[in-house]
Structure 1
Amino acid sequence: MAKKNNDEKENLDEVVEETTQQEDSQTEQDAADQEMEQLKQQVQELKDQNLRQYAEFDNFRKRTQREKLESYKNATADCVLQFITVLDNLERALDAEKEDSSMKKGVEMIATQFKEVMAKMDVHEINALNQPFDPELHNAVNQVQDENYGENTICQVFQKGYQMGDKVIRHAMVVVANP
């Protein structure tokens, strides 16, 4: 009977050991599966982070390009504005009555060339006379009542305005009829 008890005890120990091994094996498998899920999650997070950084860098590159272009346009507009005053003086010289026609012709040629260069830079005069007043383009320096003009119509231009593309470099100084 002692032998039977020993055999049963050994069988019981073997069953317990096998069960423990199976449980340990299952626990190890669960731990490995859990670690695998964590690693998959980390990989996905790193991929997302990488994608966000790429998008952020692309946005930075585009923003920098826009700012660079805008800075160039502003610097060009500032420079052109300085030259517009020279053109104003050339036009005043043409308006002055001079007997020396060769001098007048030379000034006309210079003014024409000046306007051609400005046109190449996409700088053009704002058409103001007999146009409706637009505060985006015009600066009203006076108002008059005149039945010959419609409501809010520009009847006189004191100083020409200029645009470079869609950007106003200098507003036209105008007199507005019938405000």
Structure 2
Amino acid sequence: MDAPLLFQQLPLAARPPFYFALRPDVVTAARIRTLARHLQRRDRIGGQLYSADRLHVSLCPIGLDGLRRGDLAAAIHAAAEITLERFPLRFDSTASVRGRGGHCLILRASAQCRGVLRLADVLRHNLAGAGLAVPGGAGDPHLTMIRQTTETPESRLAAPIEWLADEFVLARLGGSANGDLGRWPLKK
């Protein structure tokens, strides 16, 4: 059985250049990379590991229909208006999903990630209010660990990957945390 697609596949040229995301803290990112390397060895799969500073949980892309002058500034302003509280993230399983160039190995949550979904909803609402085109739904919250790998069966983690989401960022497609265009704290 083929692995599911999490999001509609867009042609490479149509992929939005920017997206809002949650990034794990440094300790959690190192733990995710250690887990990914362990899974590569255990399951004898190849693929390209995401570097620690590229790991993220996508919230909402911007520029699906192209970016007009002022769109980036409007997106930054819309993000600055968000006043939600911090929330925990908990990923307790891995799954293989189809992506460009093969499969991706992702972290998934068996329980609904209410905080992620709420932040994505508010962000989409604010972006739409600022006149930006935004996609309709958030998809399943996930974190890609390995890309261009082979399909692997879903598995439960012995120890879940958890962290407290205390900020969100505006990232550049394919970029690292050092290239984030903005970051906004979530309330304590």
For Structure 1 versus Structure 2, the TM-score category normalised by the shorter chain is under 0.3
Question: Which has the bigger relative contact order, CA under 8 A and spacing at least 6?
Answer: 2
Higher helix share: 1
- Computing the radius of gyration from Cα coordinates, the structure with the larger value is 1
Higher strand share: 2
Structure-1-length-normalised TM-score = 0.22
